[in-house]
Amino acid sequence: MSNTDHSASRAARHLALPQIGAQGQESIAASTALLIGLGGIGCAAASYLASSGVGHLLLCDFDTVDASNLGRQILYGPADIGELKAQCAVSQLGRINPDIRLTAMMDRLSGDALAAVVSEADIVLDGCDNFATRFAVSDACVANHRRLVSGSAIRFEAQLAAFGPDYETSPCYRCLYTEADESLENCAGNGVLAAVPGVVGTMMAVEALKFLGGIENPPGRLTLYEGLTGDWRQVGIGKRVDCPGCGSVG
Ligand SMILES: [Zn+2]
């Protein structure tokens, strides 16, 4: 069976969805997604974007694999300890789908370099572990009019939100968080149940595939998951006129 046949068979369940179909799958295959952070969230999101045939994945993480990552960062195994996550991810995702393009990025991106990478992508998925990067990625998405899906997980709790600078009324990440919330930042100190980042990363992949597949997908809602009780909640995020990221009052 040729690679083309594999691609058609792989996409069969997407082709059977009237909301995606051949046109949506072609759009997915022609798309580029940028993943910021290849921890538990990024591993899950990248796995589904690769298996779904997103044409080009830009995989950004400067860190190396540590033994303490293996419980939840499912692209890596014991043989990868000490190796660069981005390179290990490319290797494993290439086994999941050899027909897509995978680019490992190991630099700490900021400023013009970050803007250039963001502008190369059709959508950005941020599953990183710190607010400084989240704010910088959001600002780059606003400046370059790129859709951003942002997720975080800690303890048993998860958050997910999509922001759309392509929509005039959409909030940005800084409309949601004006300053770093340290209670959400320290995964090592607070602990995290292994599968919770996987929930977030998988939901981020759902949001990204809908967007890339052409499904109307208005941004601006925050989804909250409490794994301890199994509760889900959604709240609207308002655009702040005085937001330092996207507001009109400077
Ligand atoms: Zn904003």
Give the distance (Å) from ligand 1 centre to CA of residue 244.
6
pLDDT tens digits for 178-231? 887 766 666 667 899 999 999 999 999 999 999 999 998 788 999 999 999 999
How far apart are the C-alpha atoms of 210 and 196, rounded to whole Å? Answer: 22
* pLDDT of 250 above 50: no
128 as an active site residue: the answer is no
Total residues found in the chain within this entry: 250
Q: Catalytic: which of 60, 88, 128, 187?
A: 187
Give the distance (Å) from ligand 1 centre to CA of residue 185.
20
pLDDT band at 76 (very low <50, low <70, confident <90, very high): very high
Give the distance (Å) from ligand 1 centre to CA of residue 154.
24
pLDDT tens digits for 2-44? 666 677 788 989 988 999 999 999 999 999 999 999 999 999 9
Residues by chain with Cβ below 5 Å of ion ligand 1: 172, 174-175, 243, 245-246
212 alpha-carbon distance from chain centroid: 13
pTM: 0.94
| 103-127 burial code (b ≥16 CB/10 A, e <16) | ebbeeebeeeebbebbeebbbbbbb
pLDDT band at 165 (very low <50, low <70, confident <90, very high): confident
Q: Is residue 27 packed enough to be buried (19+ CB in 10 Å), middle (13-18) or exposed (0-12)?
A: middle
- The residues pairing with 233 across neighbouring beta strands, listed in sequence order, are 224
Give the distance (Å) from ligand 1 centre to CA of residue 120.
22
Nearest to 139 by CA among 169, 163, 103: 163
Other C-beta atoms within 10 Å of 233: how many? 9
CATH superfamily of 3-236: NAD(P)-binding Rossmann-like Domain (3.40.50.720)
How far apart are the C-alpha atoms of 92 and 86, rounded to whole Å? Answer: 10
- Kindly list the domain boundaries of the chain, sorted by start residue: 3-236
Give the distance (Å) from ligand 1 centre to CA of residue 237.
10
* pLDDT of 249 above 90: no
